[in-house]
Amino acid sequence: EVQLVESGGGLVQPGGSLRLSCATSGFTFSSYWMNWVRQAPGKGLEWVANIKQDGSDQNYVDSVKGRFTISRDNAKNSLSLQMNSLRAEDTALYYCGGGVGWIITDWGQGTLVTVSS
């Protein structure tokens, strides 16, 4: 059974940092492009970043470039998102998801990030 479990969310002040993790099992992690997608409360889906199977290529939405860093550890089947200089508009449920190519076939349940003073 494919499983993706996000963790690391929480309440952080504006300007602060947070590191999200996604533990995976049930599929060949090293074969998947992996993504972070977020959803602000009551809003739609916004893709945040993705990373190639071997970690050699990463892409980001403009609003997080220079602040967020996506990374992966294929030995541990895990994905991470380091988030710095957080803003109120980064408040959202953050999903990790992956698939062969850029199609996101499998998703976790999400971890909530709240940026507020």
Where are the strands (E) in 33-91, listed by range?
33-39, 45-51, 58-60, 68-73, 78-83
- CB 116 to other proteins: min, Å: 22
| 108 touches 6 (CB < 8 A) | yes
Residue closer to other proteins (CB basis): 74 or 107: 107
Q: Report residue 54: phi and psi, to 5°.
A: -95, 5
Structure tokens at 21: 């993790």
Residue closer to other proteins (CB basis): 23 or 61: 61
Residue closer to other proteins (CB basis): 8 or 13: 8
- CB 106 to other proteins: min, Å: 8
- CB 33 to other proteins: min, Å: 9
Site of interaction with other proteins (CB under 8 A): 35, 37, 44-47, 50, 59-62, 95, 97, 101-105, 107-110
Q: Which amino acid is at 73?
A: D
User: Quick one: which of 91, 100, 106 has its CA closest to 33?
Assistant: 100
Residue closer to other proteins (CB basis): 15 or 52: 52
